[in-house]
Amino acid sequence: MTLRPSDPDRPTLGIIAGGGGVPAIVARAAEAAGRPVVLFGIVGEADAEIEAFHHHWLRWGEIGRMFDLLARERVGEVVICGAVNRPDFSAIRVDLGAVLSLPKILSLMVGGDDTVLKNVVRFLEDRDYLVVGAHQVAPELVGGDGSLGRYRPSEDAEADIVRGVEASLMLGRLDIGQAVVAISGRVVAVEGIEGTDELLQRVADLRKRGRLKAAHRSGVLVKAAKPQQDLRVDLPTIGPRTVEMAAAAGLAGIAVEAGRVMIVDRAATVAAADAARLFIDVRRFPEAAP
């Protein structure tokens, strides 16, 4: 059974909300399009901002309650967005619905992040909910082609972008990370499980220790979706904090994959890049080699 927004029996968009401002952006976009919307905030993860909308709070483990609320609210489509941490299983208090689904739930958490998220999508779709991406509801979250702000990549930066794109696609195929830093035509750091912020902090530390001899304001952070990534639930993201840390790492700019990387709080992100004299370049990346 495939559900659509026009389904008169289940017209509501449900947003399962983690932290940050994306859930509210998606909710506003849905309301602007005339869609009824309800947010399900994860306690300890979602921001209080969701309380500006019709909402419910859910604790980790309240699986039965979640599905009861989804049915009561006549939800047909679900968006999963916002930052979350893997739960501490010792602190979870499961309800009856979770107990009945426990073998399935435990199987969801096995594997890398990409595998786990695909399992969560399948878990919802097996119960006849159509999972859609935040960017499908709020297209303004992802960038089109071109440079944002006042600055553009130099010739040297273009060479770093090319090298960074090659490396990021190879890393993505192995489900390792989404971002790399290239300086002077070579990759100097790659993202692992620690995330982009710590990748940039590592580059800043390397500069301070003299391990990177390149001039200040050189090099590029390149961020791309993994080729196999399910963009409905796991869009790579940059925002004002990314710009701040790229500047602290002495980079010249940031290059991201058009249509497949989320730019959170775009106006503030571009303003931060202009203030730091960094470029943000949005472009189509080539297909990863099989």
- Which pair of tokens denotes residue 149? 């702000």
Yes or no: domain 12-137 corresponds to CATH 3.40.50.2300: no
Q: What's the confidence (pLDDT) of residue 98?
A: 43
Say if CB 125 and CB 192 are below 8 A apart: no
pTM, rounded to two decimals: 0.79
Distance CA 183, CA 21 (A): 32
User: Considering the domain 142-283, what is its CATH architecture?
Assistant: 3-Layer(aba) Sandwich (3.40)
Q: Give residue limits of the domains in the chain.
A: 12-137, 142-283
- In tens digits, the chain (290 residues) has pLDDT values of 344 555 677 899 999 999 888 999 999 999 999 999 999 999 988 999 999 999 999 988 788 889 999 999 999 999 999 887 655 545 555 444 444 444 444 454 455 555 556 777 888 888 899 999 999 999 889 867 889 999 999 999 999 999 999 999 888 888 788 899 999 999 999 998 888 999 999 999 999 888 887 777 899 999 998 887 778 877 888 999 999 999 999 999 999 999 899 998 889 999 999 999 999 999 988 864 44
Beta bridge partners of 40: 16, 56
Q: What's the confidence (pLDDT) of residue 87?
A: 54
- The letter for the amino acid at 196 is T
Q: What's the confidence (pLDDT) of residue 226?
A: 84
Q: What's the confidence (pLDDT) of residue 4?
A: 52
Q: What's the confidence (pLDDT) of residue 100?
A: 43
- Which pair of tokens denotes residue 157? 């930066």
